Amino acid sequence: MLTQIRSTRPVPPDSGPPLVDRQARQVRYLRLSLTDRCNYRCTYCMPSEGIEHRPRAEMLTHEELVAICRAFAAWGVERVRLTGGEPTVRRGLVELVRSLRAIEVRGGGRLEVVMTTNGERLAELAAPLAEAGLSGLTVSVDSFDPERFLRITRRGDLSKVLAGIDAAIQHGLAPKLNTVAIRGFNDDELPGIARYAWDRGLVPRFIEVMPMSGGALFIPGELLPAATIRAMMADAFGAEIAQDSGKAVRGLGPATYWRVDGGPYAGRSFGLIAAMTENFCASCNRLRLSATGQLHACLARDESGDLRAALRHGGAGALEAAVRRLLSEKQDGHRFALDGSGGPTKAMISIGG
Ligand code: SF4
């Protein structure tokens, strides 16, 4: 069913001022949730019973996603990250990637389209996604122990994910690996995960847990601060850990990069995404769009603007007004606290991290 999009004639590139918030931070990166569905039930992301999914009519269609991304590209967004839920469960994903890659960005060039996936379906999708022009890939994998992997995902098959990573490498989409570092669960595995990545020419990144869902899924004792991870890596590799520009791997995201200065893995680097202990809000350059068209200025806050209504009932002008209004109200940063307070009520699954 093709939803009638009211007068969304393409927004010409270079139209309207770039998107800059009241802290003078320019938006160059849009994280796009394609679905609120997932084939996993990760313990820190979604309650075991799952969530009530939004009806299909509320989901942005392929055409609407392309129209919205074309508008953002005209306002200076250079990169779109496809997330979920799990983006690979969205039908028409490959065609969507092809359409988004055809979008011209402000100042010329094509929109970069990257994706974060749990890797479960990557073995079958790596080739068509590469052919469609996917610019980059990140695979979320929190344990390389099959039993632990099943425990944290509640459904996952690690062997499928490992086969997916190999397929991605084979098709020129060598992924970054994201691991949520959880004290008492996978902290003993982090050096091993780094070795696995480096032995394949990949970059491992470790993420601090965050209190989403009103803190309901956050256990303060499970937080593994970035400083502790650096100390663990120095111990494991018997070398100094030095900050690294990360030029070789840095995208538009918040990760900082750290290099092993000595030992068998000298020169290799890993990333840290440390929202809780090494806040990066001052350089925030992103917005998030939910699969139902709710634009979120900040991961850590519940305020949002309805782009679906603007697009379906107002057209390009209403869309721009809704985006700029939300941006003008964007706060300076999050208020996450180490006791799990200060987070939003929304679940990570609904906004794709
Ligand atoms: S918490 Fe909000 S302001 Fe801070 S980096 Fe994330 S999205 Fe940006």
Q: What is the DSSP letter of 253?
A: S
How far apart (Å, rounded) are the C-alpha atoms in residues 69 and 77? 8
Q: Give 250's pLDDT tier (boundaries 50, 70, 90).
A: low
C-beta of 252 in contact with ligand 1 (< 6 A): no
C-beta of 298 in contact with ligand 1 (< 6 A): yes
C-beta of 342 in contact with ligand 1 (< 6 A): no
pLDDT of residue 9: 47
- pLDDT tens by residue, 298-342: 999 999 999 999 999 998 899 999 999 999 999 999 999 999 999
Q: What value does the mean pLDDT take over residues 239-253? A: 77
Element (H, E) at 261: strand 256-261
pLDDT of residue 126: 98
Structure tokens at 339: 């006791």
Q: What is the DSSP letter of 139?
A: E
- Going from the C-alpha of 94 to that of each of 6, 131, 132, 152, 287, the distances in angstroms are 25, 9, 6, 28, 23
Q: What is the DSSP letter of 109?
A: S
Domains and CATH numbers, the chain: 2-350 (3.20.20.70)
pLDDT of residue 246: 64
Q: What value does the mean pLDDT take over residues 201-224? A: 93
* Ligand 1 centroid to residue 330 C-alpha, Å: 10
- pLDDT tens by residue, 271-301: 999 999 999 999 999 999 999 999 999 999 9
Q: Closest ligand 1 atom, CA of 330?
A: 3
pLDDT of residue 349: 84
Q: What value does the mean pLDDT take over residues 199-218? A: 93
Q: Give 170's pLDDT tier (boundaries 50, 70, 90).
A: very high
Contact 167, 159 (CB under 8 A): no
pLDDT > 90 fraction of the chain, expressed in percent and rounded = 83
Q: What value does the mean pLDDT take over residues 67-72? A: 97
CA torsion sign, 270 to 272 to 278 to 281?
positive
How far apart (Å, rounded) are the C-alpha atoms in residues 304 and 301? 8
How far apart (Å, rounded) are the C-alpha atoms in residues 340 and 220? 6
Structure tokens at 264: 């068998």
pLDDT > 70 fraction of the chain, expressed in percent and rounded = 94
Q: Which amino acid is at 187?
A: D
259 pLDDT higher than 50: yes
Q: Following DSSP, what letter does each residue of 223-249 receive, concatenated?
A: B--HHHHHHHHHHHHTSEEEEE--TTT
Q: Closest ligand 1 atom, CA of 280?
A: 5
C-beta of 299 in contact with ligand 1 (< 6 A): yes
Q: Which amino acid is at 327?
A: L
Q: Following DSSP, what letter does each residue of 50-114 receive, concatenated?
A: --PPPPGGGSPPHHHHHHHHHHHHHTT--EEEEESS-GGGSTTHHHHHHHHHTPBPTTSSB-EEE
103 pLDDT higher than 80: yes
What value does the mean pLDDT of the chain take? 92
- pLDDT tens by residue, 124-166: 999 999 999 999 999 999 999 999 999 999 999 999 999 999 9
Q: What value does the mean pLDDT take over residues 211-217? A: 89
Count CB atoms within 10 A of the CB of residue 63: 15
Count CB atoms within 10 A of the CB of residue 123: 19
